[in-house]
Structure 1
Amino acid sequence: MEMSKQSDFRNNEAVLDINDKPAPLHWIGLSLQHLFTMFGATVLVPILVGINPGIALVSSGLGTLVYLTVTKGKIPAYLGSSFAFIAAMQLLMKTDGYPAIAQGAMTTGLVYIIVSIVIGKVGSAWLDKILPAIVVGPVVMVIGLGLAATAANNAMYRTVDGNQVYDFKYVFVALATLAITIFFNMYLKGFLGLIPILLGIVSGYVLALLVGIVDVQPIVDAHWFALPDFQVPFIEYKPTLHIGAITTMAPIAFVTMTEHIGHLMVLNKLTKRNFFEEPGLNKTLLGDGLAQVVAGFVGGPPVTSYGENIGVLAITRVHSVFVIGGAAVLAVGLGFVGKLTALILSIPNPVISGISFVLFGVIAASGLKILIENKVDFDKKKNLLIASVILVVGIGGLVFQAGTFTLSSMALATVLGIFLNLILPEQARSEEK
């Protein structure tokens, strides 16, 4: 089935298509599923940087709502805290603190906005040339498999006095959560069959409580209402231009743009549409950029589209933007509820990892599906070389650094794949007849 850009098109393979609104009770459950799927990564970023997790929840929710508004409710994408900026934000927090991070986050958003304006003027037809299936497929696989090691490590190790210690309980909980989630996905019917991820997280959490790896004291100590520390960027902000923050974080925007495009490609396949044409790459980048500006304005880290939530879309076949919007509203509200925030933060890594084994794998399998559907010929040396380089560089974790400029392994793999596709001849000399 070809992708469609028609506004009246409906994907009959979806349980709920993009414009379908679920029943109220179903709506809450489906939105909670997306909320619980993204929160682990979204709150981990501010914890590593030293930012209030409540701010990150609010900024991710507001950013997602901005994105949905700019794209006119046509793309079911959730935006959460970006991992690409962690190292830069940690450095800035030590030197200039919140003001620098806020300014850097808003600068990355401006980079997106500028690129979106350029694309709006010259078009995006060039994408088909530089991003054919042989590049897109492996890159999408890298998006999923590049996160595999993190999921596996979080499923095996707990931190003791700064050291990583193997814990059998962690592995048991992770694998049990995985098994339960697979069972729910395969055998539950009706509404319960639409929320296997949420049910898997709840079941895994209960199991984690039983084996004693959940610390409930922070939940007891937390207040019901807790105002996130929004005032820090405003009260302590001085009208100083942090050039270092701008030069450190702005280049990373081009790294996350590759992730943005890769996620759109996966969503194109899932929803049977072409979001590069409607609403257009310029609109999606504009939405992402404005979301980052809003995130920076409230003191949160830069946001980006989340592969975890795309995995939920693929597994449940619920593509409704109303569900995504509901998750965003819940995230904003959750940022003000201290006990609920503490409850979410108490969910141990093994539970998240058990879910991630499924979600990240689904993303990787989507990349493989792209190669199969486009009948990519791996007997051709060009195709074989491009895929090989992308997969090994991306999954292997090769990083390019030059001063403060860094290309993550996924971004580097994408750049190399595009470069090889453009310079290599269609046939190797040994293939010429």
Structure 2
Amino acid sequence: MEKSQNQITEQGYEVNDIKLLLEPNQRPKNMWQWAILSLQHVFAMFGSTVLVPLTINQIAGVEVMNISMALFCSGVGTLIYIVCTSAKVPMYLGSSFAYMGAIGSCYPLYGNAVFIAIMIVGVIYISVGVIVYYVGNTFLEKILPAIIVGPLIIIIGMSVAPSAINNSGLNPAQWNQSYSRWIGVGIAAFTFTVTALVAMKCKGFTKVIPVIIGVVSGYLLSVILHFALGTENHILDTSKINDPSVWQWYPSFKAFWNLNPKNIGPAVLAISPLAIIVIAEHIGDHISMGALTGKNFVKNPGMHRTLIADGVSIIFDGMVGGPPNTTYGENTSVVGMTKIASVWVTGLAAIFAIILSFIAPVNQLVQMMPGPVMGGISIIMFGLIATNGIRVLINNKVDYSNIRNVFITSIILVLGLGGAIFNFTIGSGTLSFSGTALAAFVGIFLNLVLPKKLNEGFWTLNWISAKISLAKNKKKNKTKKRKESKKSKPEDK
């Protein structure tokens, strides 16, 4: 049960003082319960994490990295994050979607230089973390108040919602399975219903593992339908397990130093600027996790440490030839749903991910899971993230009778959810701002320049006017001093 009292954080927004079943430093007492709670996080991140290398390979036209590498980097990256943050944040790291297009398009051109660029991304994270450490969180409070954070969290949840809808069969235009779309809708609805009922009606340990129960139930229903309706419908993609010769038994480690040095510069210019986008998402995810758990992670362990931790993990990803990691909203929503914020749980999930990266049969079975199962689960998880953004706005009593706040929220939501894209070329690469990143930058800019009260005028116009006035005064003073100097100077004879 949540307490009604709110606390104001150093970040400048309020979160509920939430009663957690397990605090970040607490470990489940029962080993089996601990393992099941951790597997729940593995299921939550698996679909998105393994999709990243598949998409990169498809764009590149060759195998840049395999699924096992994504799982391996996810697990090791999460453990690095836990160590660097002193095990204070129950965050899980998985493969980032933001870099897929750039890595896939650059690998055929620059080869292993893309992994040097990934390491530079990590260096950028660490640099920003160091700046935050010395400057403090006050500038974060100015650029990321509740009016920015709330809509951004909504976008983080809703921007991935189309994948949940498509997998669930609720968008006929995007349905590409061999079996009927209505079968997919039924599987997704069943998975959703089981998960919701477990979360709302069950008691004891069962109540805190609704995701894993929902996924297993949906999978079992899919197996039954696969054989009951006829295997020719291919509800289960059994090709994933038919040929062991194509199974991925270990991560695709790369010798990143085997490259042409001339390719490093173009690769870095094309990939590393994307760090700005994901850093904005990193901050938003930690604020979201703080709101879900009632913790102030901006202050403790500090945003500088979370950024540095993420940066170190990304450097590791580049060194072994894997995709860069980022904080995962799917796992954040699991924490919010179950009230289990134990770092011991996310840590064991990371160990499971590393083990799975070397166990091909398990990977193949998980990949065989029908899309509607993950679609039904994702509808809940992505929606939970978005509603948390609404909670931030409500807790902070954002005043929407002030048209300024309406403008800022409107532009953030429309740019973030409407598919706005801003491209420009740097060298031989293209830097693209879209979705959350573009919405964040525009929202921050408007929040800084729009007047907070009526008749105050734009902040930038006031600043420019002040500079012009100051320049005129300086010029006037110089002219005055020059005239006085001439008067006081004796005439030459």
TM-score by length of 2: 0.81
Q: Deviations over 1:72-117 (max 9, x none)?
A: 00111000000000110110232233x1332221111111111112
Indicate the residue corresponding to 1:419 in structure 2. 445
User: How many angstroms apart in 2 are the aligned matches of 1:272 and 1:235?
Assistant: 44
Indicate the residue corresponding to 1:280 in structure 2. 302
User: How many angstroms apart in 2 are the aligned matches of 1:315 and 1:89?
Assistant: 34
Decide whether the 8 Å contact of 1:102 with 1:233 is kept in 2.
Answer: no
User: How many angstroms apart in 2 are the aligned matches of 1:341 and 1:397?
Assistant: 33
Instruction: Tell me how far 1:274 sits from its aligned partner.
Output: 1.4
User: How many angstroms apart in 2 are the aligned matches of 1:328 and 1:290?
Assistant: 16
1:17 and 2:32 correspond: no
State which of 215, 221, 225 in structure 2 corresponds to 1:207.
Answer: 221
Q: Deviations over 1:254-304 (max 9, x none)?
A: 000010000011111122221111111111100000011111112110100
User: How many angstroms apart in 1 are the aligned matches of 2:419 and 2:191?
Assistant: 27
The residue correspondences of 1:220-259 to structure 2 (distance < 5 A) are 220-222=242-244, 226-230=249-253, 232-233=254-255, 236-237=258-259, 242-259=264-281
Which SS does the other structure have where 2:432 is aligned? strand
Which SS does the other structure have where 2:398 is aligned? coil
Indicate the residue corresponding to 1:2 in structure 2. 7
Indicate the residue corresponding to 2:189 in structure 1. 175
Which SS does the other structure have where 2:176 is aligned? strand
C-alpha root-mean-square deviation of aligned residues, in Å?
2.2
Indicate the residue corresponding to 1:36 in structure 2. 43
User: How many angstroms apart in 1 are the aligned matches of 2:265 and 2:36?
Assistant: 44
Decide whether the 8 Å contact of 2:27 with 2:342 is kept in 1.
Answer: yes
State which of 176, 184, 202 in structure 2 corresponds to 1:159.
Answer: 176
Decide whether the 8 Å contact of 1:19 with 1:322 is kept in 2.
Answer: yes
| Amino acid aligned to 1:114 | S
State which of 97, 104, 119 in structure 2 corresponds to 1:83.
Answer: 97
Count of aligned residue pairs for this structure pair: 421
Decide whether the 8 Å contact of 1:394 with 1:412 is kept in 2.
Answer: yes
Instruction: Tell me how far 1:408 sits from its aligned partner.
Output: 2.1
The 3 A distance-change label for structure 1 pair 415 and 225 is closer
| Amino acid aligned to 2:198 | F
| Amino acid aligned to 1:226 | W
Instruction: Tell me how far 1:236 sits from its aligned partner.
Output: 4.9
State which of 303, 324, 334 in structure 1 corresponds to 2:346.
Answer: 324
Indicate the residue corresponding to 2:381 in structure 1. 359
| Amino acid aligned to 1:310 | T
State which of 198, 208, 220 in structure 2 corresponds to 1:184.
Answer: 198
The residue correspondences of 1:99-138 to structure 2 (distance < 5 A) are 99-138=112-151
Instruction: Tell me how far 1:3 sits from its aligned partner.
Output: 6.1
Task: Extract unaligned runs of 5+ from structure 2.
Answer: 1-5, 11-16, 58-64, 227-234, 458-493
Task: Extract unaligned runs of 5+ from structure 1.
Answer: 6-10
Decide whether the 8 Å contact of 2:90 with 2:343 is kept in 1.
Answer: yes
Indicate the residue corresponding to 1:379 in structure 2. 401
User: How many angstroms apart in 2 are the aligned matches of 1:203 and 1:15?
Assistant: 25
Indicate the residue corresponding to 2:364 in structure 1. 342
User: How many angstroms apart in 2 are the aligned matches of 1:131 and 1:340?
Assistant: 42
User: How many angstroms apart in 2 are the aligned matches of 1:96 and 1:82?
Assistant: 20
Decide whether the 8 Å contact of 1:308 with 1:360 is kept in 2.
Answer: yes
Which SS does the other structure have where 1:301 is aligned? coil
User: How many angstroms apart in 1 are the aligned matches of 2:393 and 2:176?
Assistant: 40
Instruction: Tell me how far 1:211 sits from its aligned partner.
Output: 2.8
Decide whether the 8 Å contact of 2:26 with 2:342 is kept in 1.
Answer: yes
1:400 and 2:422 correspond: yes
Which SS does the other structure have where 1:89 is aligned? helix
Decide whether the 8 Å contact of 1:76 with 1:320 is kept in 2.
Answer: yes
Moved more, 417-426 or 27-36: 417-426
The 3 A distance-change label for structure 1 pair 12 and 260 is closer
Instruction: Tell me how far 1:331 sits from its aligned partner.
Output: 0.2
Indicate the residue corresponding to 1:149 in structure 2. 162
User: How many angstroms apart in 2 are the aligned matches of 1:285 and 1:406?
Assistant: 22
Which aligned segments of 4 or more residues in structure 1 are displaced greater than 4 angstroms? 234-241
The 3 A distance-change label for structure 1 pair 153 and 430 is farther
Moved more, 78-87 or 233-242: 233-242
Indicate the residue corresponding to 1:8 in structure 2. none
Moved more, 241-250 or 320-329: 241-250
Decide whether the 8 Å contact of 1:101 with 1:301 is kept in 2.
Answer: no
Instruction: Tell me how far 1:250 sits from its aligned partner.
Output: 0.7
Decide whether the 8 Å contact of 1:78 with 1:309 is kept in 2.
Answer: yes
Which SS does the other structure have where 2:249 is aligned? coil
Which SS does the other structure have where 1:149 is aligned? helix
Indicate the residue corresponding to 2:484 in structure 1. none
Instruction: Tell me how far 1:27 sits from its aligned partner.
Output: 0.7
Structure with the larger RCO, 1 or 2 (CA within 8 Å, 6+ apart) = 1
Among the aligned pairs, what percent are the same residue? 40
TM-score by length of 1: 0.92
